[in-house]
């Protein structure tokens, strides 16, 4: 994914505790006593069979975290090449969603309380899955009153609904973190402001603000400088207008990286996700 507001960008997660590293069953991980960050790369051989590949990958992921003792998934990132292209009659994202749903049913007995997540379209390479999980207290999944829960979407969006929460409030290493799922210009279950990148950005920010209202009711107060965002822009020429709105709406203390990526619905032009640290 090209970085639109800089030449090179690295995302670094730090911990106060000693870190150990391992690679097991194709999953590479770094872990402290409390938290594990892992990654799994899925090489595709038959695109029409993407749902089966995703099911196998998630089965491997669930087995790994359960065996390692870090069984509480907090946040998952997915980067999927050609995310909205056709794959034997369904969009690739719909096949991805079907495989993920079936893995939750098989390994977790249902949707339950899914982690925060996002799925973006990359330019190439394998399906890349990154995740944060903990052996301590499970996170608190949060939904957005402006939006239908993704796992309850009607079948017009695919045979299986997306399995994720709108946000996840986690407590570990002595602090709280709010993981914000990929958020777009969706109200209820419908995409809004077709063809208008500025209006979609404002609607997306309204959805994120609604999440913060939910978190305040759960006792979470964001730090003034604690918000870190990734803003995915479908078309690079929209960077200026999107960036201006984000800056005006969220202020100069919010750290933002802008990436060019495809969104999971062809009509969506912007998606925003991130993490926020609680006030100390």
Residue of 91, 102, 271, 273 with catalytic role: 271
Q: How far apart are CA 239 and CA 262, in angstroms?
A: 14
Question: In the annotation, is 271 catalytic?
Answer: yes
Buried b (16+ CB within 10 A) or exposed e, 124-146: eeebbbebbbbbeebbbbbbbeb
Classify strands 72-81 and 116-122 as parallel, antiparallel or unpaired: parallel
Residue in the structure block whose two tokens are 């998934």? 73
- 218 contacts 169 by C-beta, under 8 angstroms: yes
Q: How far apart are CA 17 and CA 118, in angstroms?
A: 28
Q: How far is residue 55 from each of residues 106, 132, 160, 205, 228, measured CA to CA in Å? A: 9, 19, 13, 32, 31
Contacts of 201 by beta carbon, 8 Å cutoff, 6+ apart: 185, 241, 242, 245, 246, 270
The residues that are catalytic are 271
């Amino acid at each position: 994914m090209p970085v639109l507001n800089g030449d090179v960008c690295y995302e670094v997660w730090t911990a106060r505790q000693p870190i150990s590293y391992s690679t097991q069953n194709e999953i590479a991980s770094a872990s402290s006593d409390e938290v594990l960050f892992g990654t799994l790369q899925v090489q595709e051989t038959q695109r029409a069979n993407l749902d089966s590949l995703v099911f196998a990958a998630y089965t491997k992921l669930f087995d790994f975290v359960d065996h390692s003792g870090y069984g509480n998934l907090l946040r998952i990132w997915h980067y999927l090449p050609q995310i909205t292209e056709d794959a034997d009659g369904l969009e690739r994202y719909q096949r991805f969603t079907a495989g993920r749903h079936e893995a939750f049913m098989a390994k977790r007995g249902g949707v339950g309380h899914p982690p925060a997540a996002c799925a973006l379209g990359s330019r190439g390479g394998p399906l890349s899955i990154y995740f944060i999980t903990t052996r301590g207290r499970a996170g608190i999944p949060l939904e957005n009153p402006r939006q239908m829960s993704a796992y309850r979407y009607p079948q017009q969006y695919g045979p299986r609904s997306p399995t994720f929460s709108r946000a996840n409030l986690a407590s570990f290493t002595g602090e709280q973190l709010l993981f914000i799922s990929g958020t777009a210009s969706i109200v209820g279950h419908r995409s809004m402001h077709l063809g208008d990148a500025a209006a979609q950005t404002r609607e997306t920010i309204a959805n994120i603000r609604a999440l913060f209202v939910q978190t305040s009711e759960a006792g979470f107060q964001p730090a003034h400088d604690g918000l870190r965002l990734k803003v995915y822009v479908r078309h690079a020429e929209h960077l200026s207008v999107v960036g201006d709105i984000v800056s005006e709406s969220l202020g100069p203390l919010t750290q933002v990286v802008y990436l060019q990526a495809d969104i999971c619905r062809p009509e969506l032009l912007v998606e925003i996700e991130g993490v926020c640290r609680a006030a100390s």
